Amino acid sequence: MAETMKAVVMHGPRDQRMEERPMPKPAAGELLVKVEHVGICGSDMHFLEEGRLGNWVVEKPLVLGHESAGEVVELGPGVEGFAVGDKVTLEPGVPCGECFPCRAGHYNLCSKMSFMAIPDERDGVFLEYVAHPAKMAYKLPENVGTLEGALCEPLCVGLYAAQKSGAWLGQSALIFGSGCIGLVTMLALKSAGVHDVTVVDVIGKRLEKAKELGATAVIRGDQVDAVQAALAATEGRGFPLVFECAGHPAASLQATKTVAANGVVVLVGMAADPELKLDVATLSAKEARVETIFRYRNLYPTAVSAVAGGLPLAKIASHIFPFKDLVAGMLYNMDHKDEVIKGVVSFV
């Protein structure tokens, strides 16, 4: 195998460079994986555009990308249950397994988490090969490609949001935001039997995608009052399930105004400002719950089997960029936010 590989390294805002890195060696318990597809996440775009996301600041060179799948090319010592040639999707967060949240089973809240493409945690996967713990890798069945494998990461977010809402068969849902996370939340809800899903966004192209993937109705938030439209659609009752997937403060406030009695608002999107304004009077009068989520836990096997069972995850990808064009592709993505719903990097 070659001594070096290519990696795209972020050095500062709008500054990524293709560089040579030493070929990684799989340590005990690790797989060496040849990366085939990586989804470009909103968090990657935030890091590249502003050099930060919330409290995370990129101060040292960092490889972005955390939604990946590829082929196993080497097994580290002691690895069982995998073979060279297996296609796998990689769960990007490696928890310590020993801290209080880990021992309580809440490993996504690990206090020593090592998550891909997070400053001071671990590098991401905008590179050709990655060594990753086998315990955070999941084999893909033959009918699931590595593009879908990569998109299992955001799908886990949607599955977790649906799970936290406690969605029931036959309920109706309102989703603010029709980007990747809004769309995977809709797919997760539909597979849980919530077929009546209304989606709000301000970008027409995204709402067309939501319709293509099965939204019952859409609301153009820039053309009508989204709260009035959502209430009118439910004879004033509001929706039992409301999801904020836009990462926008206005949408969080609207979400709390459109929930039905005994309903739930799940805050999924992350806004730049940590403080939000919510309509607590409406929430109280309706005895509505507010739920938050942080990434996901224990959901990769569910995501893989949902896709194997026919969930149309690949349709979310709107743009495929070859790895060699990644630097230019992400700048294009940044400057054409209205056009790119979900970019995916391809190495094959």
Name the site residues for Zn ion (rule: CB under 5 A).
41, 95-96, 99, 102, 110
Distance CA 136, CA 195 (A): 32
**Which residues lie across from 306 on neighbouring strands?**
none
Q: Is the Cβ of residue 257 or residue 297 nearer to Zn ion in the bound state? A: 297
Question: How remote is the C-alpha of 59 from its chain's centroid?
Answer: 24
How far apart are CB 160 and Zn ion at their closest, in Å?
Answer: 12
Min dist CB 97 to Zn ion, Å, is: 6
Give the shortest CB-98-to-Zn ion separation in angstroms: 6
| Helices (H) then strands (E): counts for the chain | 10, 19
Q: Closest CB to Zn ion among 157 and 227?
A: 157
Alpha carbon of residue 44 to chain centroid:
11
Which of 53/110 has CB closer to Zn ion? 110
CB of 316 to Zn ion, least distance (A): 12
Comparison of 261 and 272: residue with beta carbon closer to Zn ion: 272
Identity of the residue, 95 or 145, whose beta carbon is nearer to Zn ion in the bound complex: 95
CB of 142 to Zn ion, least distance (A): 25
How far is it, in rounded angstroms, from Cα 191 to Cα 214? 11
Query: Least CB distance from residue 107 to Zn ion, whole Å?
Result: 6
Neighbouring CB atoms inside 10 A of 20's CB total 11
**What secondary structure letter does DSSP report for 127?**
B
Q: Three-state SS for 52?
A: strand
Structural element, H or E, at residue 267: strand 259-267
Please compute Rg for the chain using Cα positions.
Answer: 20
Q: How far apart are CA 56 and CA 342, in angstroms?
A: 23
C-beta of 38 vs 264, nearer to Zn ion: 38
